[in-house]
Amino acid sequence: MPARNHNQWIAKPPLQQGEWIDSRIYSEQGIFNDEIEKIFKHVWVPVCHESELPEAYDFRTTSIGGEPIVICRGPDNEIRAFLNVCPHRGMLIERRPAGSFLEGQPSGNPKRMTCMFHAWQFDMKGNCVYVAREKEGYQDRLCKENVGLRRLRCEVKFGGFVWVNMDDNPSQTVEEWCGEPFECLRESLDAEPLEVFHYHKAIVDTNYKLWHDTNSEFYHDFMHYHNRITGFNDAYFARKNFAYKNGHVVVGTFEVNYENYEGFESRAELSFPKLPPNQWYMVDLFPGFNFNLRGSALRCDIVTPLGPDKVMIEFRGLGLKRDTPEERITRINHHNSIWGPFGRNLHEDLIGVAGQGATMSPGTEPRRILHGRHENETIHDEIGMRHYYDEWGRWMNRMPSEPDKAYAPPAVAAE
C-alpha cells in the first residue's frame, strides 16, 4: 500500500457512514462543551461506592460536568447528594476529597456542613440550619428556609454504587437506564455487601471517549503482551459484544484459565457469590463507565471529562465486605496483577489512549477514525464503538462522522 498525499489522506474512507468518525469529536472545545451540557448533565453517574462512606456523617466530594458535588451519609443511614455550592455567595462548601462531618471543623460545628466563608451551615438533608446574624441582615425578607442546598437525584444500586444525576427529572430511572446490561452481574453484586479496597485516579491527556473505546473493543489485544502470548484461544475469540439500549455494551462471559498464565493462580476459591468459578464479565456503560468482574475482584473505572484532551479516570477495586484479612490480601493481589500500576494491562491501555490524545489534541487537522471491523460481533468486531457513537449522535444531535450536521441514523445500523 503506497503512502498517500494530503488529498488522499483526507479523502473519505471506502467504508459506510457509521463505520468511521471525525476526530473533531475528540478535540474540539465547542463539541466538548456540548457534551457536558447535553450528556453529562443528564445521565446517571456512578460517583462512588457506599462502602466509601461507611459511617453516618461520612462524605465524599466529586464533580459531574464541572459542577462540584458532595455526597454524604445522614444519621438515618441514607446517602444523599448535593451541589457543593453555598447558596449565599457561591463558595465551595466542602474542600476535602473525603472525610466526616461528625467532628466540627475549626470554622464549623459537629454534624453539619459549614461554608467557612460566612459560617452558613447545613444538615445532612441539605436544610440550612444557621445563617450568621440572620435577622440583623435580612430582617424577615429571607430566612433559612429559603436557602437550603440544591439536592440531587441519588440512588444506591447494583452492588452499592452511588448513582447521581444532575437532572431533577431524568428520562429514566437508574434501573431503566442500565438494569438490562447489569443483569449478567446483578446476582453476584447484590448477594452480599461489597467494599472498595483499591482507589487511584489518573489524569490523562486524552479525550474521555478514547478511553472508553479501549474498553469497547479488544482488537487492541495486540498491544497487550500478556494477552498475546497466553490468552489467544478459540473461546477467547468467540466472545461476543452485546449491544443494549442507551449505548451500553456487555462483553460475553468466558472462563479464564488462570493456571495457564505464568505467575497466576486459579481464582475459583475467592470468586464472587453466585458466579461460576473464574468467570469474567464486562459491562461498558455510555458515556464512560466500566465494570469488570474477574472472578475474585470487581473493577470499576469512571471517567470525569476535564476538557477535550483531558480526562480524569477513577479506578476502584472491590471485594466482599466479609473478607478475612488473608482473603483480602489475595483479592488485592488478584486485582493488582491485572489492574495495578504494574499490572498486566492498565499501563498499556494508558499508553494507547495517551498516544491518540497526542495526535488528536485541539487544533490538529480533522482526520478519520475507523470503526469498521465486522467479525460476527465478536470481541475484535468494532460493533461496541459503532453502537456507542450512534447513541452519542442522538444525544448530541450531531453526526459522529460529520459533527456539523444533524444526527441521522447510520447507513450501517448499529446492529
The smaller minimum CB distance to another protein, of residues 131 and 243, is found at: 131
127 binds another protein (CB under 8 A): yes
Nearer to another protein, 173 or 336 (CB): 173
Tell me whether residue 103 or residue 192 sits nearer to another protein (CB atom): 103
Among 109, 257, 333, 361, binds another protein (CB under 8 A): 109
> Would you call the peptide bond into 287 cis, given omega within 30 degrees of 0 as the criterion?
yes
| Phi, psi (degrees; rounded to nearest 5) at 367 | -140, 175
Of residues 141 through 170, those in contact with another protein by CB under 8 A are: 151, 153, 168-169
Q: Please choose, out of 119-127, 228-236, 320-328, 390-398, the segment that lies near another protein by the rule CB under 8 A.
A: 119-127
Judge whether 31 and 398 are in contact, CB under 8 Å: yes
Give dist(CA 267, CA 246) in Å, integer. 33
Q: Which whole-number Å values give the CA distances from 375 to 21, 51, 386, in the listed order? A: 19, 40, 13
Minimum CB separation of residue 103 from another protein in Å reads 9
57 lies in the binding site for another protein (CB under 8 A)? no
Q: Name the one range near another protein by CB under 8 A: 33-41, 117-125, 243-251, 269-277.
A: 117-125
Cβ contact 383:241 at 8 Å: yes
Please state, in angstroms and rounded to a whole number, the distance separating the CA atoms of residues 126 and 87.
Answer: 11
Question: Looking at beta carbons only, is 131 or 210 nearer to another protein?
Answer: 131
Nearest distance, CB of residue 302 and another protein, angstroms: 23
Q: How far is Cα 360 from Cα 21, in angstroms, rounded to an integer?
A: 13
The phi, psi pair for 266, rounded to 5°, reads: -60, 145
Q: How far is CA 23 from the centre of its chain?
A: 22
* Residue 92 vs 119, nearer CB to another protein: 119
253 interacts with another protein by CB under 8 A: no
Instruction: Decide: is 137 part of the binding site for another protein (CB under 8 A).
Output: no
The residue among 84, 141, 146 whose CA lies nearest residue 116 is 84
User: What are the strands, taking DSSP E only, across 321-391?
Assistant: 368-370
Single out the segment in contact with another protein by CB under 8 A; choices: 13-21, 108-116, 187-195, 380-388.
Answer: 108-116
Q: Which residue has the cell 448477594?
A: 191
Q: Residue numbers of the site for another protein (CB under 8 A)?
A: 75, 78, 104, 109-112, 119, 121, 123, 125, 127, 129-130, 132-133, 151, 153, 168-169
